[in-house]
Amino acid sequence: ISRRGILGLFGAGAAGAVVGAAGGAGTAVAVTGAFGGPEASAAYDFHGTHQAGITTPAQDRLHFAAFDVSDSLDRAGLVGLLADWTDAAARLTQGLEVEEGGAVGGSDHAPPADTGEALGLPAAGLTITFGFGPTLFEDAAGVDRFGIAARRPPALQALPRFQGDALKAEWTGGDLCIQACADDPQVAVHAIRNLSRIAFGRASLRWSQLGFGRTSSTSTSQSTPRNLFGFKDGTANVKAEDGEALAEHVWVDAADEPAWLAGGSYLVARKIRMVIENWDRVQLGEQEQLVGRSKGEGAPLSGGTEFAEPDFEATGATGAPLMAATSHVRLAHAASNGGVRMLRRGYNFVDGNDQLGRLDAGLFFLSFQRSPEQFVTVQRSLASDGLNEYLKHVGSAIFAVPGGIRPGEHVGQPLFA
Ligand code: HEM
């Protein structure tokens, strides 16, 4: 019995309602689920021009995983893994099990094909997005394990070291990544768990991250959520409905190099610890100065409402700029970075607490851009960000995200053609 089959028994007609997503804009259709809140039972197309999980309205939960490919795997083995992952992802995102009858098809001699914990749950808006890290093309020893080094995107390099970086090897890098987003954490975790299981002996988990409470909107239909500093996050994001901005800032173009990455993007992941105990002792006015926006409405300090453009020239009674020189929004804005923008899609995290009784909390920053240079430019500009006193970048990774997958193909197929 498939997950959808089980739902059918309960008469959940809305389960698995398909919402176009991978194709781009116009996808923000909220479906009221029989068992949950809005979008609980939405299922997004797995196939399309672009991979889902980028412009798809940001779901509430994340399980992100970076993998290392086994040294014993050859090119055919890697292609086999990508094909198996693609098949499974196409099913999981539609609310189905890994295989037909997967969780009930085991026997005394074989474990079930699907681990089972999502049985009876709807698709929950699950998207699965795959990425290829620099070390897939050339490992640390410079070895071209899969005969793809010549097709490596020139821009796909480990990120440079940034001022203040306190990166830990255990949250850095990876040959492959999978971003699983869903409105139900159990569904996102089930996806990563089963994809890891499928990879057994071929690729293993290097590091992973759970996230909650999206810290961005990727569609104008969504309200702006808040990060753990309590500020609205995602106001000035590139959104699904802005096709021109997506083409200019997010999607790799057929004219860009290499051609196999057309319709794809570059994903940057940064695990950013927030020292929230110190932040919580900062006065409201000072917090707002550091961000450059009001805490309540999220309006720029230069005036207007949430979506008003900040006026960086505006000055106050003392002659000082209303958007402080070291404010995050000023330094991150396109005006400070030669017009550069990106699509942010991060999540909050709380990984328990440290030995001093402080929450091990922060923002798992994810951004999609047409070139890694966009992230590098903005992150360098943020070197003088006043927020840095309360932030520590502890993890980092970059991946090339292939374009959309056509039915019958596997992710990244043009790379191996
Ligand atoms: C905007 C918070 C890290 C890039 C914002 C805003 C907030 C915020 C509150 C204003 C609302 C909005 O437009 O979304 C944070 C926090 C961070 C963080 C708490 C770390 C924990 C980063 C990083 C980058 C970045 C690492 C990229 C290198 C941006 C950009 C904007 C923005 C591009 C939009 C600026 C604009 O066009 O007005 N961030 N951010 N942020 N942030 Fe961050």
Query: How many whole angstroms separate alpha carbon 402 and alpha carbon 260?
Result: 8
Ligand 1 mean position, distance from CA 283 (Å): 20
Name all contacts of 148-154 with Cβ < 8 Å and 24+ positions apart.
148/75, 148/415, 148/416, 151/258, 151/260, 151/415, 152/258, 153/257, 153/258, 153/261, 153/400, 154/257
385 lines ligand 1 (CB under 6 A): no
Which of 328, 359, 394 is the pocket-test mutation for ligand 1 (most atoms within 8 Å of CB)? Answer: 328
- State the pTM of this model: 0.93
236 touches ligand 1 (CB under 6 Å)? yes
Q: Would you give per-residue pLDDT tens digits along the chain (417 residues)?
A: 345 433 333 333 333 344 544 444 334 344 433 333 444 568 999 999 999 999 999 999 999 999 999 999 999 999 999 999 999 999 999 999 999 888 887 777 889 999 999 999 999 999 999 999 999 999 999 999 999 999 999 999 999 999 999 999 999 999 999 999 999 999 999 999 999 999 999 999 999 999 999 999 999 999 999 999 999 999 999 999 999 999 999 999 989 989 999 999 999 999 999 999 999 999 999 999 999 999 999 999 999 999 999 999 999 999 999 999 999 999 999 999 999 999 999 999 999 999 999 999 999 999 999 999 999 999 999 999 999 999 999 999 999 999 999 999 999 999 999
31 DSSP 8-state letter: -
Is 22 within 8 Å of 50 (Cβ atoms)? yes
Torsion angles phi and psi, residue 59, rounded to 5: -75, 175
For ligand 1, whether the C-beta of 291 sits within 6 Å is yes
Bridge partners, residue 207, by sequence: 66
What angle (nearest 5°) sits at the alpha carbon of residue 236, between those of residues 230 and 242? Answer: 140
Residue nearest atom 25 in ligand 1 by C-alpha distance:
332
Residue 175: burial class (beta carbons within 10 Å; 0-12, 13-18, 19+)? buried
Please tell me the distance between residue 360's alpha carbon and the centre of ligand 1 in angstroms: 20
Does 272 contact ligand 1 (Cβ within 6 A)? Answer: yes
